[in-house]
Structures are given as structure tokens and as C-alpha cells.
Structure 1
């Protein structure tokens, strides 16, 4: 394992579950800063490790590398203004993901749909739709319009 907060690309890969090639690719693409030093003495630091963990967390949330790159640029500016650290951002993100995982676990235990959308049809009448099983948006708008018309409410929009 690494000594004195110095990591090789192999160390970073092992600690974050990516390949060495991915670590080098992220450096090439500017997602990770280059390692300190050159040649055989080149090494990564705790800052690199934290940033790589954040990149992985953002990827696992479904973001592509372009989006992550844009976010990291914005984050750098925001951190400079507030004096916060990437570690604090990662801690907040990790806490958010833990809470989301717990909520999902409870939803599954209770057989509760993951995401419900409610639409007002008329006074006292709502339609609840499982967002994952929902019909195409254009079709849903037509259904809502027809239902509102049947109930005598000509309200526009979903």
C-alpha cells in the first residue's frame, strides 16, 4: 500500500475500482490533474484519490464524462470562493447516496413504486402514475386532457 500519501496509478486503480488505464485516461482528458513528479517518480496524492472517488460517484449516478468534466470545472470555482474542499463535497455526495439507497430499500420492502407523479384532473380528483411505467409524454397529455374534459375541467397542461 502507498506510503506518505503517495500513490501510483495502480494504487489509485485498486482503491477506486477502476483500471490503471482509466486513471491515465482521466489524466489525459483533464478530469484528474497530472501526477506530481515525472517518470518513475511520478505519484498521485490524496487529492487525486478524493477527486477520483468523486468522479466514480458521479458516474455511478449516471453522468457522462463530459458532464462530469463541466461539473468539476464549476466545482473548482465554487470551492475557491467558499474555501471548502473536494473531501467535503465527496462526503455530502456519499451521505446523499447512502440516504437514497436506504429510501430505495424501504420502497422495495413495502412494494412502493420508485417514483409517482400526481396530476390534478379536477377538484378532488387526481391521477397517480408510476413514472417508470408511464406512457409517452404526448399520449399522457392527451389522456389528461380527455379526463379533464370528461370531468368538466378545461385546465391546460399536465
Structure 2
């Protein structure tokens, strides 16, 4: 029997003490769906090595600036077959993790790396239609978010030509723009229910982190299915 399996179970106060956190925090992580439920023995809640490992990972991500919503997204995707290491590599585990609700702007060096890419009028219009291009005709604003720019840079490095990049970006941006129309259904349903405008706005905005998590998972799942069925990739 491995030492991991034979490790003694702990009560919540013992787990908190050995992990450098508080009982209250552990309960919050459970309520948010980040930490799996305890093992029940009668009325006693016990925690094993898997709980300890998950808790330590949660604490590391929180210390790096990740939000509850992002951590939950990573854990959901992990259950879907993507490893946390791969997902964190995609996220780059950045020390310069962008503040909640804001975009990380490109550095001068990052901007220069994309100078050779001429953003077409079509892509600029698509960006304007969803608010990603904030000034009419200002093509650079579509690239002002580092995550968008990094995707384009990766495509360029992989050898995708301008026509291919335009098609990829247009499909992705248009698809996301159409998908968020689902929010209109939510807004209209709440309005029909007579919800006060201020309350309506608060409720709708509170759904956005969860919607982002769901959208990411749907994208990852659909991508895996397409790669497997259409292109013969092995299931990751």
C-alpha cells in the first residue's frame, strides 16, 4: 500500500493547520465547488491526501492571482480530460496575471512582434461589432489585448498565412459574438418577470464568470471532438 493511500485522515481543523489556511476558507472552497466534499464517517467529516493535494493547489493558484471562477474553470476542464499542467501552460501561469475585469495590455516589445501582421478591414469590423475594437478604424485595438495578440502571433509562427489567420479569427470572434446573444434571452426573461433594472443588472453580471467557464469548457470539448472525429487525433 502506498504512503499516499495509507496517510491518516484529518479533521477540518487539522487540515487547515497543516495547509496554512483556515477552517472558514476550506468551507468556502467547498461551497464554491473547488474542493471535493469530505469523507463522512458518521457525523464526522474527514479529509484525506487527495483533499490535501487539491487544497494546496487551490492555495497556490490563489496566491498567483487566479480568481475562484478561473480555478473552477481549470478544474472542470481537468475532469474533461485536460491536465492542469496543460491548462496552466495555456494560461502561462503569469506573474503579471491581469487584474479581475481588465485586459492585460501589450508591451511595446509584444506590439513590435506583430507589426508585420496587417489587420484587414473585415477583422476590424468584426472586432468593432463586439466592442473589441474601441475606436472605429483603429485596427491596433483588436490586438491591444495580450491574449488575442498571443494567439495571432502563435498562428504566424506556425506558418498560417494572412488569409488563414483572417478566417480563423473571424470564425472565433463571430462565433463568440453569436454565443453571447444568449445573454439577451436572460435579460428579457428577467425584464418580463418585472425585475428592477438595478437588480437585473446585478444578477446578469453575476452570471458572467460562470458563463465564461461554461463557454471555455464547451469550446474545449468541441475542439477535442472535432480533432478526434474529423482529423483522426487521439483523444487527449
The structure with the largest strand share of the pair is 1
The structure with the largest helix share of the pair is 2
Q: TM-score normalized by structure 2? A: 0.34
